[in-house]
Each structure stands twice: as structure tokens, then as C-alpha cells.
Amino acid sequence: MTDLPISSPASAARPWAAGAAVIVAAGVYAWALLMAEETWQVTGLLALAVAAVLAALKTGFARRLHQDWSASETRLNRLAFATLIVLIFVLSDAHFALLMVATTLLYFTASMGLNIQFGFAGMANFAGAAFFGAGAYTAAVLGTVTAVPPLLTLALGGGVALVLSLPLLLPIVRTTGHYAAVVTIAFGVLFRTFLEVNEILGGPQGLMVAPMRLFGWDFNSAPVIGGYEMSFYVNYALLAAALAGLVFMLMRRLERSWIGLHMDAVRLDETAAACFGISVTRTKVTAFLMGNAILGVSGALYGMMISFIAPASFTFSDSLLMVSIVLLGGLGSLWGGAVAAAIVVLLPEKLQLLQEYRFLLFSILVILVLLFRPDGILPRPMRSFFASRRAGK
Amino acid sequence: MTQTLLEFRNIVKRFGGVTALDDFSMRLGRAEILGLIGPNGSGKTTSFNVLTGIYPATAGQVLFDGQDITNAAARAVYEAGIVRTFQRSRLCLPLSIYDNIMIGDTARLTGSLWSNLISRKRLHGQIDASYRLARDLVGSFSGHLADRMDQPVGALPMIERRRIEICRALISGPRLLLLDEPSAGMTHDETHQLMDDILAVRARGAGLSIIIVEHEMGVIERITDRCIVLSYGRKIAEGTYAEVAADAEVQNAYLGAD
Amino acid sequence: MDFGLIAQYLANGILLGTMYALVAVGFTLFFGVLDVIKFSHGDVLMLGTFIGFTAWLGLEAIGVANPWVQLLGVLICSLGGTALIGAAIAKWLVLPLKKAPQLNTLLITLMLGTAIREAVRLFYPNGSNPKAFPALLPDAAVELGSFSLRADSVILVLAGLGLIGLLNLVINRTRLGLAIRAVAQDEETARIMGINYTLVVLATFAIGSGVAAFAGIMNGLYYNEINFGMGLILGLIGFSAAIIGGLGNLYGAILGGFLFAGLQVIGAALLPFASAYKDVFAFAVVIALMAWKPTGLIPERSSDRV
């Protein structure tokens, strides 16, 4: 549709086949991993993944995949989403596996919010779990008010996270680097301490959260299709998938907009950005508020899903875990974030012996990544203002 | 002199105990090319930084087109039509050529969250139009760069980066271009090539003024209409290149004789 | 409110302030020489305290019972060990990242802090539970009305202030201090003048970490309890204190430390019905201070060169 002479990657016969194959394979793999119960099965699957990645790098398949993705991005993203939905239905009665899928998706969504800040605008936010928790507590409190429709509660979770961000705006915008970091760290600790001592919010014991309801459908009741009863987590997994998909799309658009470009400029060189008319303040405020609102919304749904929340789930360590997802995946890299969220959520759950060691494991992993591969597992690709349009969008 | 575009009135800039600009006054005419020369640390770059709102002036006034822009924010200075390059190239290296140039055109290319994220018809129109514009501009400096608009700037050699930096400054159609040592890190021939390109672009538009800070005297001699020599933050000479080059005080300042 | 209570708050505030200042000083020293924030500082401190605790267990086991000898052993092991750890972190994690974006160093040291914290929790015998730290100082107390002045508090405060004074002397009066200040002022010039840059950085990290370990031992002796999480909160408080004081400035760090302690004490005194909110209050004030004076009460020199 566009007549612009955009250099397009070497057009293979089917510039999506490799991508499509990988997506389907990833879907099957995810199913196998989620259903694996024995430790040897899980370790075997992990070894297989490592071998597959190495082979892809060695044979040049990785490059082909990269080309496919830039050539047929929209198509492949849609296929990935469809594969996810199929996976959820295939898992249908596997309670625990579905919970894992939904948790991964919500952490992924939350990490996208953080990615706006860390990856795009270059702002540190070490209170991710606090804004996530703000959403969850909003859901808990509003759940007791039957008049509020739960879908609105989701939005209000984001709204409360946004309102809590407001008092931080002034110090965040006026400071940079380590100064801004201390503001968010202080806020994270403050938030958690507040929850622990506040009796109305349940103190250290926490609160029950009412389930999601949509059009009169209670998400805690098992859906039945054709006489076949599925786990009620199917509801949550589908809604989490929808939320993740929506935020993913929003992020793609943000990246390929002037606002996203200005965020990059502010991250890379604030002074130069200001000399070309970019409002550093406005850009940072946008990134901070948008990111925290996304964290709040995903936290609200997370709270409804696990139905019981306590301050211990929203600690500084949890904030760091969310930051780990962003860094492992690669700053600003959306698909990297998805893969990293899966690793961070699934690995400790599938290998129970790692559960206890997860903070240690991921902190060391992040140190290694920062030292040896600072761009993360799947480095953020070059921005292409045209990619989504070539696909005829 | 022609009509005044920019005027410095008794600008003083102190950093702690160091006086970087000492009662510096000057005028720049419309469509004039002014050379700002002087030994290292004489206040050339500082005057750019004061002008573009990076440092506040300690005292004095800056007038641009009759308007007082003393200590205006960097953004307001840009919006008034003043753009610059930096001594050490300050491009966004991981971003593409196109992205970098678009960063220079923010006055035109912004918009609400709505038009950036939700209803993007206008955005797409802007992308198409600005792509053509940027490609033409880059093409007038280097044809082969124009075919690599989506490549990262970090992979380019120094001269190409300078060109991109100048395109980033020119894309918004400014009225005053500040060049801070464009020849740094480039060979003699490359510098001359670059200057010719800038003059060619300038000739197409109406009356772009330029202030150039430069050590390479060949460049100054060739392109400036007039020069100002700074030494320890003070203006010690003013005139055509030939005049200031013959000035005894200027020779002293450069040779350090006393 | 009676005199005794006020005096109690004041004494408590001075003790906490000394402790926080000792931690904050480290942050400010590291920032001075290297322009980095080493967020693992608090957890290194915790590790140092555990080293001291282990040394005490060892001394008990070999039958050394005199508390003063024990204290000396604990301090030597803890401060020395922590200084070594601090220097090692500087050498292998901080110096290699000198050219990397500031955020990366912050992140690496944050993650390192987590790793240390988790390692102690998981691998120290029964590490997830608090440990009873021995009371090695005399526990005599002078009663002044309702206010009781404990001898151990007095000794701790005096020792802490003495250490800060000593540090000040080292920085301002010795050759090493001169080298540290030279590097903080201008690394390139300092190198040209023949200063061994790496050595100065390592020495600075060793000193800063050792001083922080002293704060950790102080904490243990005062509360008679240590746990794996103590470094996180102490580190955060020290970090906040260094920042509100103004990074890179020794006096700023001390000021910040006492200011933070003052805030906590005021918070506890003004909100007696909810003294649990004292940290909420203190951190809220830190955030407000950052909004008001973004680069601290004694500002850092501007560093953006154009």
C-alpha cells in the first residue's frame, strides 16, 4: 500500500513459515512443559529448549526467524495469540497449568508496564510490585461493594495505581538516575509497611478478593462446553490473554509513535532531546503514569484470580523480580519480556527444588545478563515505523 | 549591517569562581554566517549553551528576533527556531537514521495520546510525509545514506554521523543553526565537503543564519561573513576573517605571547 | 510529655542517627570516587554482621569468655572481612561496569544485594530465622527519673562518632584521603598525577564497607538480634540519608543520617497510637524532600558536560 522505497529483508518464498513453525512448536512445548510432572521430564524439556536455541543460532535459523518477524510481524503476532488461546483450551481441566499460564500472562503484562519506564523512557521504577499490589488491593476493597461491576474494578485498579503515582511525579521528574531510584524504592517499602500496619486493609494477614464477573458470569464457576466441564481458571487465563494482547498492541503502537520516539530520545540523551523541543517532563510523566496504570490493572486481575492477597506478595523482592523480567527479556523488548516472564514464573514452579532459591537464582541470572548480554535474551529490534503498515493495516 | 536576528547584550556566565563569558555582546544579522573563534576554553561552546537554554546566564540579555529569550528553556529556544549540533556528537546511536532525524522535527510531529495510540490515521500521514522530507534532506548530503534510512546510526562512520546530526538540526526548517566544531574528528576534505553541503541546503531555503564554532581556520575563512574572536570569555576582535587574522591581540591570544 | 520520655527519644535518635550516618558515609564515598551507587551496601553490611556473629560463635567454642576479647575478635573479623568483600565487589562487579549506563550498575548491585541476602537466608545454618546477638557490652544503666541511660548505648554512640571522626581525619589529613579526594575531584588528572586509581577505588570500597559493618555490629549489640533482612532496610535508610544529605559529601551523609533518625523518632513520638507508621512517615518525608531539593540538601556538583 505504500510506495515508499523501504528496504525490505530478503523476501523468502513464504516470509512467515519459519516464524509460524516456531510459534506452533512453542505452543506444543509450553503444553508439554506445563503437563510435565516428574523432575526428569522438566529437566529434559529444559535441555531440549537450550539445544533448540543453540541449534537455531548455529544453523542460521535464528536469522531467518528474525527476517520472518520483520516481514510478517502482524500475521505472526496474531498466530501467536491464536496459539495461546488454543493452548488454554487444550489445557482445559488442568487447574494448576492454567493458573501458571494466567500468572505468566499477568506478570508479562505487568512487565510491559515497567518496560515503558525502564526500556523506553529509561526511568527506574523499583516499586513495580507496589503498583501491582495497589491494583490487587483495589480489587479486594471494591469486591465488597457489589454495586461496582468487576470490569470497572479492573480499570479502577489501574486508576488507583495512577493516583498513587501522582505524589511521586514531582520528585521523579525533578531527579534523574539514582535519585529517582531511591524515590521508588522508598515508596515500595513505604507501601508495604503501610499495608502491614493498616488494620482496615487486613494487616499482615491480607484480604479476600471477590472473583471476576463478566456479563453475569462468575469467573469462579467452571465453564461447561458441550457437556465437558473445564477448570474455572480457563476464565482467568482467557481474560489474562485478552489483557496481555491488548497491552501488547498498545505497546507496539506506543513504540511506533512519536511519543515512543520521544521516550527513546529522553532515555538516550535528555539534554539533546530538550534542545529539539521534546518535553522531558511530559515524556517522563506519560511513561510513569502509563506504566503504573498497566501494573495496576494487571494486579487487579491477579488479585481476583488468586482470591487472597497479603502484603508479603508485594515486597521489594517482588519488585526486583518484575524488573528481572524486563532485564532478562531485554530492555524495551516485548517478546523478550514474554519469554522472560515465562522463565521467571514457570521455572520455580516446575522445578520445585528451585522454588526456595528463586530470588537467588534470578538475581544471579540478571547479574550475568547485565555483565555479558546487556541487551537481554531477545534484544529489542530496531523501531520500524512501517512494519505494521506493510501488512496492510 | 542587515537586520538583526540575534543579539547578546552583556552576557556574563560564571561557573563558581570561573568566568566563562565576560560581558559578551554581539549581533547576528539575518542570513548571516558568523564564525566564533578563540582558543580552547574561551567561551565559545558556553555561549551556545547559554543561548540554547542549557545553562542559565549569570547576567545579561539574549534577544532573538526582538524577543527576549534570556534563560528560556531549551524547548522554547527550539520552538523559536534555533537549533544546534554538539561538539561531541549526541545522536541516539541505537536508533535509525530516520528516527534520529525525526527527533529534530518535534515541533511538527507530536500529538495527543489519542492520535498516537488509538486513532492513528493522522500519525500515518505524518510518517509518510516526514519520511519523504527526511529522505530528500539526507539525499542532498549523501545519496547512499538516503537508501539506509532504517539503519542504526551507531554503525555509521564519523562523517556520516555529522551529516545526520546536521540533518536533524535542519529538518524543522530553523532560522538559526549553531554548529559546534563540525570538523571535529573529520579530515580536511570531509569538512569542506560537509560545508559545501550545508551551504547548498541553505541556498535552497530562505535566509538561514549560521553561527559556527570552529578550530579549522580554512573553514572559517571560506564560509563566514564575519568573525568574532573570544579569549577568556571576552570578545577581543570582530570583523571579516582577514581583519581578525591580522589583529595583533588575536595573534597574541592564539600564540600565547605576552 | 515528661522530660524522661523526651530524653529517651533523644538518646534513641542519636544512636540511630550514628548508625545511619555510618551506613550513609559508605554510599557517599563510593559515589565520590566512582560516581556509582552500590546498592548492595546494606546487604554487605548484613553479611559483615553475620561474619562477626560467626566469629563470636567460634570464640565461644574455643572457650574465650571475656566479653571484651570477644568484642575485639568480632570487630576484627567483621570489619576486616567486610572490607575485603567490599573491595572484591568493587574489583569484579563495579569497576568493570564503569563505562556502562548508571542504571546498569545500580541494577547489578541491587541484584547482588538480593543474592547475598538470599544466600545468607538459604545457606547460613538456620539462616531464615533471627539470631540472638550476644550482649558484649556492660548493661549497667543510670536512672535519671524515668529516663534510663544504658552504658552500652553510650559506648556505641561514642565509638560510632569516634569512627566517623576518624574517617573524617583519614579523608582530610592523610595521603590516602588526599588520593581519594583527588580521584573524586577529577579521575583523569589524578591518574596523570601518578595516583594508582584502582588501588584508591578498592581502598575506598574497603573503608566504606568496613565502616558499614561497624554499623551492623552496633545494630546487633543494641537490639541483640540480627537477621538476614536487616541489611535491606538499613541499606535503604543509609541510601536515603546519603541522598537527602547530598551525594558525594561526607557531611551531607552525616546530616542525612541524623535527619532520618530524627524523622523516625518524631514519627514515633507524634504518632504514639500508631508507632508502626514511623517508617511510613520517615520515607514519606524522604520522598517529599527529594521533590523539594532534588539533589539533596548539600547539592552534588553538576556533571552534564555539553
Alpha-carbon distance A67 to nearest alpha carbon in chain C (angstroms): 30
CB contact under 8 A, C122 and A356: yes
Alpha-carbon distance B6 to nearest alpha carbon in chain A (angstroms): 18
- Per-residue confidence (pLDDT) for residue A391, from 0 to 100: 38
- How distant, in Å, are the alpha carbons of B3, C34, C154, C300 from that of C186? 45, 10, 40, 14
Helix or strand (DSSP H, E) at B13: strand B4-15
- Per-residue confidence (pLDDT) for residue A225, from 0 to 100: 77
- How distant, in Å, are the alpha carbons of B178, C276, C288 from that of C271? 58, 9, 19
- Per-residue confidence (pLDDT) for residue C282, from 0 to 100: 83
Q: Are residues A32 and A133 in the same domain?
A: no
A 245-274 residues with CB < 8 A to B = 250, 253-254, 257-262, 264-265, 268-269, 271-274
Mean pLDDT computed over A354-366: 87
Q: Which of A8, A262, A268, A276 to mutate to test the interface with B (most CBs of B within 10 A)?
A: A276
- Per-residue confidence (pLDDT) for residue B21, from 0 to 100: 93
Q: Are residues A111 and A199 in the same domain?
A: yes
> Would you say residue A393 has pLDDT above 60?
no
Please check whether residue A378 lies inside any domain of the structure. yes
pLDDT band, very low/low/confident/very high, at A8 (cuts 50, 70, 90): very low
Residues of B in contact with C306 (CB under 8 A): 45, 49, 54, 86-87
> Would you say residue B141 has pLDDT above 90?
no
Q: Are residues A277 and A385 in the same domain?
A: yes
* Poorest-pLDDT segment among A98-102, A178-182, A273-277, C87-91: A178-182
DSSP symbol at B118: I
Q: Which of B105, B106, B164 to mutate to test the interface with A (most CBs of A within 10 A)?
A: B106
Residues of B in contact with A390 (CB under 8 A): none
Mean pLDDT computed over C154-178: 90
* Poorest-pLDDT segment among A296-300, A304-308, A372-376, C205-209: A372-376
Please check whether residue A140 lies inside any domain of the structure. yes
Mean pLDDT computed over A295-311: 94
pLDDT band, very low/low/confident/very high, at A387 (cuts 50, 70, 90): low
Q: Are residues A67 and A139 in the same domain?
A: no
Interface residue B109 vs chain C (CB under 8 A): no
Helix or strand (DSSP H, E) at C215: helix C197-223
Residues of C in contact with B44 (CB under 8 A): none
Alpha helices in B153-240 (DSSP H): 158-170, 188-204, 217-223
B 198-257 residues with CB < 8 A to A = none
Residues of B in contact with A278 (CB under 8 A): 75, 103, 106
Determine contact, residues A123/A268, Cβ cutoff 8 Å: no
Q: What are phi and psi of A356, to 5 degrees?
A: -65, -25
Alpha-carbon distance B75 to nearest alpha carbon in chain A (angstroms): 4
Helix or strand (DSSP H, E) at B210: strand B209-213
> Would you say residue B96 has pLDDT above 50?
yes
pLDDT digits (tens, 9 = 90+) for A192-244: 989 988 888 888 888 988 888 777 777 777 787 777 888 888 989 999 999 99
> Would you say residue C143 has pLDDT above 60?
yes
Number of structural domains, chain A? Answer: 2
Mean pLDDT computed over B62-79: 93
Q: Are residues A35 and A139 in the same domain?
A: no
Q: Are residues A100 and A172 in the same domain?
A: yes
pLDDT band, very low/low/confident/very high, at C274 (cuts 50, 70, 90): low
Q: Are residues A118 and A247 in the same domain?
A: yes
Enumerate the β-bridge partners of residue B177: B83, B210
Q: Which residue has the cell 508507632?
A: C275
Range of the domain at A300: 95-213+228-390
Please check whether residue A85 lies inside any domain of the structure. no
Give the CA diameter of chain C: 64
pLDDT band, very low/low/confident/very high, at A390 (cuts 50, 70, 90): very low
Q: Are residues A153 and A49 in the same domain?
A: no
Mean pLDDT computed over A95-116: 96
Mean pLDDT computed over C153-178: 90
> Would you say residue C182 has pLDDT above 60?
yes
Determine contact, residues A35/A51, Cβ cutoff 8 Å: no
Please check whether residue C248 lies inside any domain of the structure. no
Residue C144 contacts by C-beta under 8 Å, 6 or more apart in sequence? C4, C7
More confident residue, A14 or C264: C264
Q: Which residue has the cell 538540526?
A: B169
Alpha-carbon distance B55 to nearest alpha carbon in chain C (angstroms): 10
Q: Are residues A116 and A55 in the same domain?
A: no
Mean pLDDT computed over C36-59: 92
d(CA B13, CA C188): 26
Please check whether residue C147 lies inside any domain of the structure. yes
CB contact under 8 A, C106 and A356: no
Please check whether residue A351 lies inside any domain of the structure. yes
Residues of B in contact with A275 (CB under 8 A): 52-54, 74, 77-78, 83-84
pLDDT band, very low/low/confident/very high, at A64 (cuts 50, 70, 90): confident
- Per-residue confidence (pLDDT) for residue C275, from 0 to 100: 64
Determine contact, residues B210/B219, Cβ cutoff 8 Å: no
Q: Are residues A114 and A57 in the same domain?
A: no
Q: Angle C44-A366-A286 (CA atoms, 0-180°, nearest 5)?
A: 105
Please compute Rg for chain B using Cα positions. Answer: 19
Alpha-carbon distance C72 to nearest alpha carbon in chain B (angstroms): 47
In single-letter form, the type of residue at position C42 comes to G
Q: Are residues A39 and A178 in the same domain?
A: no
* Poorest-pLDDT segment among A123-127, B99-103, C181-185: C181-185
Please check whether residue C55 lies inside any domain of the structure. yes
Interface residue A389 vs chain B (CB under 8 A): yes
Which contacts of C92-97 are long-range, i.e. CB under 8 A and separated by 24 or more positions?
Answer: C93/A367, C93/A371, C94/C30, C94/C34, C94/C36, C94/C38, C94/C201, C94/C205, C95/C34, C95/C198, C95/C201, C96/A371, C97/A370, C97/A371, C97/C36
- Per-residue confidence (pLDDT) for residue A10, from 0 to 100: 47
> Would you say residue C300 has pLDDT above 80?
no
- Per-residue confidence (pLDDT) for residue C185, from 0 to 100: 81
d(CA A237, CA A103): 8
Number of structural domains, chain C? Answer: 1
Please check whether residue A89 lies inside any domain of the structure. no
CB contact under 8 A, A181 and C111: no
- Per-residue confidence (pLDDT) for residue B201, from 0 to 100: 81
Please check whether residue C272 lies inside any domain of the structure. no
pLDDT band, very low/low/confident/very high, at C272 (cuts 50, 70, 90): low
Please check whether residue A298 lies inside any domain of the structure. yes
Interface residue A161 vs chain C (CB under 8 A): no
* Poorest-pLDDT segment among A312-326, B167-181, C38-52, C275-289: C275-289
pLDDT digits (tens, 9 = 90+) for A125-150: 999 999 999 999 999 999 887 777 88
Residue at a domain's end among A71, A86, A115: A71
Determine contact, residues C300/C247, Cβ cutoff 8 Å: yes
Q: What cell numbers appear for C70 in the block?
A: 570477644
More confident residue, C267 or A3: C267
Please check whether residue C264 lies inside any domain of the structure. no
d(CA B182, CA B184): 6
Range of the domain at C58: 11-228
- Per-residue confidence (pLDDT) for residue A5, from 0 to 100: 43
CB contact under 8 A, A360 and C118: yes
As a whole number, the mean pLDDT across chain C is 86
Q: Are residues A178 and A261 in the same domain?
A: yes
Please check whether residue A86 lies inside any domain of the structure. no
Please check whether residue C194 lies inside any domain of the structure. yes
d(CA C27, CA C212): 10
d(CA B250, CA B235): 10
Percent of chain A with pLDDT over 70: 95
Alpha helices in chain A (DSSP H): 17-35, 39-59, 61-71, 73-91, 95-115, 128-143, 150-174, 177-197, 233-255, 258-268, 270-275, 280-306, 316-329, 334-350, 352-355, 358-372, 387-390
- Per-residue confidence (pLDDT) for residue C303, from 0 to 100: 44
d(CA A108, CA A85): 16
